[in-house]
Amino acid sequence: LNDPSILKAVEAKEVNKLCLVSPAFPWTFGPYQEQMHKLSLLLHERGFHIYFMMHVGGNLNLPVGMYRDWNDMKNFVPQIVPPPDNFALSHIRGYVGNDLHEVPPKRSYGLYGEGKAMFVSAMNSVASKYDFDAYIILSDIVNIIPDVPSAVPT
C-alpha cells in the first residue's frame, strides 16, 4: 500500500479529493491526529479538497454517511470531546462515518480485533462511494489488510 505514485499524482494535481485517515478525530489527543491535521491544512492551502475518516475510537459509533462538521456528529459520539475553540476545521469538507467497517462485513483480524482493521476492499468501496481520488493514511501498518489491490493511490 505504500504507493509512490501518490506523490507524483498529488504534485501533478491529478487528484483533487483526498481522504485523510487517522485513528481518531483531528482535534483529539495523539501524534497521528496532530500530524494529519497539520498535513490537511497544508494540502488545503494547495487547493485540495480534504475529507477525514477515523478508523478507531469514536468513529466506530458514527453511523454510515458523510458528516459536514462536529454539529452533525456530536450526538452519535458523546464520548468524544468537542473541538477546542478556534481549532481550524473549516477546510475539512466532510467526515466519513462508519462506512469503512460496513464493507466487507465485520471480520476479526490483526492486533486490534473486530471492526478496527481497514480492509482495502472496504477502502475501495468508500473511495468509489464518495469519489475520493486518493487516501493518505497515518496508522500502524497492522491496521491495514490488503485483501485486494487498492483502486486509488494510497
54 falls in which pLDDT band (50, 70, 90)? confident
Phi-psi region of 25 (alpha: psi -120 to 50; beta: other; left: phi over 0): beta
pLDDT at 62: 81
Question: What is the sign of the dihedral through the CA atoms of 139, 116, 82 and 92?
Answer: positive
Indicate if the pLDDT at residue 35 is higher than 70: yes
Cα distance between residue 121 and residue 125, in whole Å: 6
Indicate if the pLDDT at residue 50 is higher than 80: yes
* pTM to 2 decimal places: 0.83
94 falls in which pLDDT band (50, 70, 90)? very high
Cell digits for 37? Answer: 491535521
pLDDT at 29: 82
pLDDT, one tens digit per residue, over 97-131 is: 877 765 444 554 444 444 567 888 888 999 999 99
pLDDT at 115: 54
- What values do phi and psi take at 140, rounded to 5? -70, 140
